[in-house]
Amino acid sequence: MSVESEVGLTVDGETVSSAADITVAAALLNLGKWRFRRSVSGSPRTPLCGMGTCHECLVTVDGDRHRRACMIPVRAGMRIETDD
Amino acid sequence: MDRSPDVVIVGAGIVGAAAAHVLTAEGLAVDVVDRGAPASGVTGAGMGHIVVMDDSPAQLQLTAYSRRLLDELAPELSASCELSRCGTLWIASGEAELEAVEAKQGAYAEAGIASEVLDGDDVARLEPELRRPLFGALRVPGDTVVYPPGLARWFLDRAVERGARLHLGTEIDSLGPREVRAGTTTISAGAVVNAAGPWSGRLSPGLPVTPRKGHLLITGRYSGFCRHQLVELGYLASAHDLSQDSVAFNLQPRPTGQIIIGSSRQAAGWDGAIDRSVLQKMVARAVEFVPGLAGLDVVRTWTGFRPATPDKLPLIGPWPDEDGPWILSGHEGLGIATALGTAQILADLMLERRPELDPAPFRAARA
């Protein structure tokens, strides 16, 4: 394995490590996180289409709200917040 | 038709719906006719700011009265009305406007409306997204926000519980003082109310109501981005001048976390298409006040037609003379804010009681 095979992330304030070269959505699911966001009525939402269409996987990435987790590769040092 | 109602109301927007609510509460038999669904015209396009406005003494009275009537109903309203007690901040754009803030507070106090003068630091603390430097603002804590189609539906549901009948998807061809005609059907009634908003002049030709186009835009959900309805103090000047196109900063936080951005005013006839240059000016004005808006996602833009009158006051009463059909129209951008006061004045006049507000400034036959 190369040195880039793992990256450090901050997820909901916790420092974690994740496989590199995967999407934010995959990384979160690997960590057992499935509550990506909340609907208007407060019910939890999780990735559905995995290809950028359904907007169910929106999370906050480096302070930027409503990013599609399934479309963004993880990057070392990325800060991710879920359950918004 | 198996009965002849006391009153038939044309228009199931917020004004017609509020009238149906108030008149059925008085025990009158009411029919409501609309060519589409409830709130499918101006009401569905509006922001739903329940605001006290002081463009004229009569407008101040009517908005203050209407806000109080809605407050009295607040405990009964359903969640779908989305009543939000966010208050309004009237933002001064410079030192020169601080005098106007004081004057506005004085006018509100005379009308029994509480408000508070804030300095720039207060404003920055309450709404950190506003651009510095901040000079001050008038905070009107009692102003609220509703979801207009939800409130219109709630009024109609109450009216239907008291026996009102709705005729939706029914296009009216013409109306008279005692009947409305839709195709081969005629509904006779003790009285007819034309509450067709900007379209009221089509049913009552010669009525001085013209469409005044507005654009709005709504963002995705950014809860906590701002807390108050934010309006620039110069808004009234922009709203007052009927002769030219104008934009003004007017921002509303929705309970969903979405943000509605307005506002524009244009005399553009019945062309409802999005006008990109106006939209651009409107958004640029909003970003001048709240730079962070530039980074938010927009999910929808739309337009609507406010029913405008030459003197900026609604028409409430029979027209063109005492024997004519009743008119409830011309509320411009304040239909949601003044629907209940309008409906109460109508009920008092119909039942030959003295309205709490002097109805003379709103007399339809003044025009």
Smallest CA–CA distance, residue A26 to chain B, in Å, is 24
What pLDDT is attached to residue B109?
A: 98
- Contact (Cβ atoms closer than 8 angstroms) between residue B148 and residue B44: yes
Residues 6+ apart with CB under 8 A from B342: B15, B18, B19, B62, B66, B314, B316, B328, B331, B362
What is the reported pLDDT for B298? 94
A66 to B256: CB separation less than 8 angstroms, yes or no: no
Checking B280-285 for CB contacts under 8 A at 24+ apart, the result is B281/B247, B282/B215, B282/B217, B282/B247, B283/B217, B285/B232, B285/B247, B285/B248, B285/B249
Judged by CB atoms closer than 8 Å, whether chains meet at B297 and A40 is answered as no
pLDDT mean across residues, chain B: 96
On the question of pLDDT at A4 being above 70, the answer is: no
What was the pLDDT predicted at B279?
96
pLDDT, tens digit, for every residue of A9-20? 999 999 999 999
What is residue A1's predicted lDDT score, i.e. its pLDDT? 47
Dihedral pair phi/psi, residue B302, rounded to 5°? -155, 170
Q: Which residue out of B80, B84, B221, B223 would a mutagenesis test of the A interface target, given it has the greatest number of A Cβ atoms within 10 Å?
A: B221
Residue B318: which pLDDT band, with cuts at 50, 70 and 90?
A: very high
pLDDT of residue B31: 98
Among the partner residues A40, A66, A84, nearest to B256 by beta-carbon distance: A40
Pairing mode of beta strands B326-329, B191-194: parallel
Q: What percent of chain A lies above the pLDDT cut of 70?
A: 95
Q: How far is CA B16 from CA A3, B77, B188, B196, B251, in A?
A: 70, 18, 18, 8, 27
What the block records as the tokens of B295 is 């980074």
| DSSP state for residue B184 in the 8-state scheme | T
CA distance A40 to chain B (A): 6
Å between B259 CA and nearest CA of chain A: 14
pTM over 0.80: yes
Distance of CA B267 to the CA centre of its chain: 18
pLDDT at B40: 97
Q: Per-residue pLDDT tens for B40-58?
A: 999 999 999 999 999 999 9
pLDDT over 90, % of chain B: 94
Q: Is residue B245 over pLDDT 90?
A: no
Across the range B306-334, mean pLDDT stands at: 97
Domain boundaries, chain B: 7-48+148-209+311-366, 87-143+210-308
Q: Residues with Cβ < 8 Å from B270, sequence gap 6 or more?
A: B211, B305
CA distances for B50 relative to A52, B36, B64, B236, angstroms = 38, 25, 9, 15
Q: Cβ–Cβ of A40/B220 closer than 8 Å? A: no
Query: Is residue A55 within 8 angstroms of chain B, CB to CB?
Result: no
Domains of chain A: 3-81 (3.10.20.440)
Average pLDDT over residues B178-199: 96
A1–chain B Cβ distance below 8 A for any pair: no
Q: Return the CATH superfamily for domain B7-48+148-209+311-366.
A: FAD/NAD(P)-binding domain (3.50.50.60)
Helix, strand, or coil here: B112?
Answer: coil
Say whether A65 and B256 touch across the interface (CB within 8 A): no
Q: What is the pLDDT of residue B243?
A: 73
**Quick check: B113 and B256 in contact, CB under 8 A?**
no
ipTM over 0.95: no
Pairing of strands B165-168, B30-34: parallel
Model pLDDT, residue B2: 56
pLDDT of residue B244: 80
pLDDT in tens, B329-351: 999 999 999 999 999 999 999 99
pLDDT at residue B15 in the model = 98
Looking at residue B58, its pLDDT comes to 98
On the question of pLDDT at A2 being above 70, the answer is no
Assess whether pLDDT exceeds 80 at residue B68. yes
Q: How far is A18 from chain B (nearest CA, A)?
A: 28
A66 at B interface, C-beta within 8 A? yes
B353: left (phi over 0), alpha (psi -120 to 50) or beta: beta
Top-tier CATH class for B87-143+210-308: alpha beta
- Mean pLDDT for B253-275 is 95
Residues 6+ apart with CB under 8 A from B41: B11, B13, B197, B198, B199, B304, B305
CA distance B50 to B15: 14
Tokens matching residue B228: 């108050």
pLDDT score of B367: 63
Sign of CA dihedral B293, B299, B301, B307: negative
CA gap A74, B86 in Å, rounded: 39
Residue B130: the pLDDT is 98
